[in-house]
Amino acid sequence: MSTNSCEKSVGTEGRPLRVAVIGSGPAGVYAADILTKSEEVRNGGLHVSIDLFDRYPAPYGLIRYGVAPDHPRIKGIVNALHKVLDRGDIRFFGNVDFGTDLSLADLQAHYDAVIFATGAIKDADLNIPGVELEGSFGGADFVSWYDGHPDVPREWPLTAKHVAVIGNGNVALDVARMLSKHAEDLLVTEIPDNVHRGLQASPVTDVHIFGRRGPAQVKFTPLELRELSHSKDVDIVLYPEDFEFDAASDEAIRTNNQIKTMVGTLTNWLVDQDDDVSAVTSTASRRLHLHFLHSPVEIIGTDGKVSGIRFERTELDGTGNARGTGEIIEYPVQAVYRSVGYLGSALADVEFDHVRGVVENDGGRVLDADGAPVPGVYTTGWIKRGPVGLIGHTKGDALETVTHLLRDLAQLPAAVHAEPEAVVDLLDERGVQYTSWDGWLELDAHEKALGAAASSDGGVQRERVKVVPRVDMVTVSRGAAVEV
């Protein structure tokens, strides 16, 4: 039998099918979980052994480093992922960087199949003049900062009183809410201490969110929209001239309950607002402005720093799309946050679509330069289909990928070093300071202890304080104490 195909006994009466999943966010964990619960495994016809790798010392990916800390659904999602990894049938290796610590060839030598679930963490480009100015930021970079990402600077230049956020998706709302919310109200979350200090010193008074189309075309969801109204001492300001609805808008409102709910919420806020918008500005120390029908044209600079932003007013064209009107409006701001989407990053030795920011694939089967499936290599999540959809959509996506993997069992290339300890020996040999699931439990307990200590000092009950430096995360996870 050829050594390039999976031996018949692999995964059945012989050794378990060895699978590596790269990325421990929802996409990776869901894929691993779905594989372990597949009919083939449940009926005893297939045995699997899964290792989950992540470049960060802690698990959960997007949930830990891509969602605002005050998001109400974080705990539920974390609890669900925790239950999967805490069962003990999936090994976790943190602080292992694909392309540096392990190559695709390494993975193929140690596993019968590899699933890439690395997500998307970079900002999509906004190609307008002025994006290079000081004070022009990527929304994803800001998210990484306030979520305590170990590989970004500890400080953030929060010096602007007036801020523009470009985008009408959930991330744009998160960015705007975090900029406008008072730092003390975030202490009940797992916000890192350096982030709390930075936000506490912010002089911001007005945050403006700009969308290119109308209220019926926004990309955020009702829950995220309603969260805006929960911020204390922050007024929401809307503008009647932005509430334009065309035939497509009316149809969307009539047929889509989510859109109907969001438009209803926005309209109610507008109706409840004082007719004189200027009167609203005096009721709170901070204001969050929602603008629609604004297409960004240029970020304006003075002495190399952001001093304003220029938009073209748009109008709906009857189909729900927007077209320019020729009317130009300028807003004086000192910072601009571009939140127009995420883009995936290329992976070593894997064909990549740099325009869409995804791994070349067909239903999760990774393709080579000629468009043929690469045996035993798969992908799922945002790196597979782009940064669209909510976290829950990732389950269906993972199911498609795992279904194809199971259909390909007879063609999978057999790993040469399939023993579970072989990859451990390889990491040890290369001096990789990898972390484990038990290590995460240690770090989890450490962060909760930091929260308890902070609670006793300040009176606010803090569930945890997130550890930011990578070296501290690794040190705690590997069983050593750190100074606090």
* Opening angle at CA 281, ends 276 and 286, nearest 5: 155
Q: pLDDT at residue 171 above 70? A: yes
Query: Distance (Å, rounded) from C-alpha 303 to C-alpha 133?
Result: 9
pLDDT at 354: 93
pLDDT at 71: 83
pLDDT at 13: 56
- Determine contact, residues 109/415, Cβ cutoff 8 Å: yes
Longest dimension (CA), the chain: 81
Query: Which residues lie closer than 8 Å to 312 by C-beta, 6 or more apart?
Result: 294, 295, 297, 324, 325, 326, 327, 328, 329
pLDDT at 1: 31
Query: Which residues lie closer than 8 Å to 137 by C-beta, 6 or more apart?
Result: 335, 336, 337, 338
pLDDT at 278: 47
pLDDT at 460: 82
Closest alpha carbon to 146 in 191, 105, 176: 191
Mean local confidence (pLDDT), 62-83: 88
Mean local confidence (pLDDT), 259-275: 91
Give 113's strand partners: 19
Burial annotation 364-383 (CB, 10 A radius, 16+ → b, else e)? bbbbeeeeebbbbbbbbbbb
Query: Distance (Å, rounded) from C-alpha 245 to C-alpha 293?
Result: 11
**Residue range 374-416, pLDDT digits in tens:** 999 999 999 999 987 667 778 999 999 999 999 999 999 999 9
Mean local confidence (pLDDT), 40-48: 95
Model confidence at 76, pLDDT cuts 50, 70, 90, reads: confident
pLDDT at 8: 46
Q: pLDDT at residue 276 above 80? A: no
pTM of the model: 0.92
- What is the percent of the chain where pLDDT is above 90? 82
Q: pLDDT at residue 80 above 50? A: yes
Mean local confidence (pLDDT), 462-482: 88
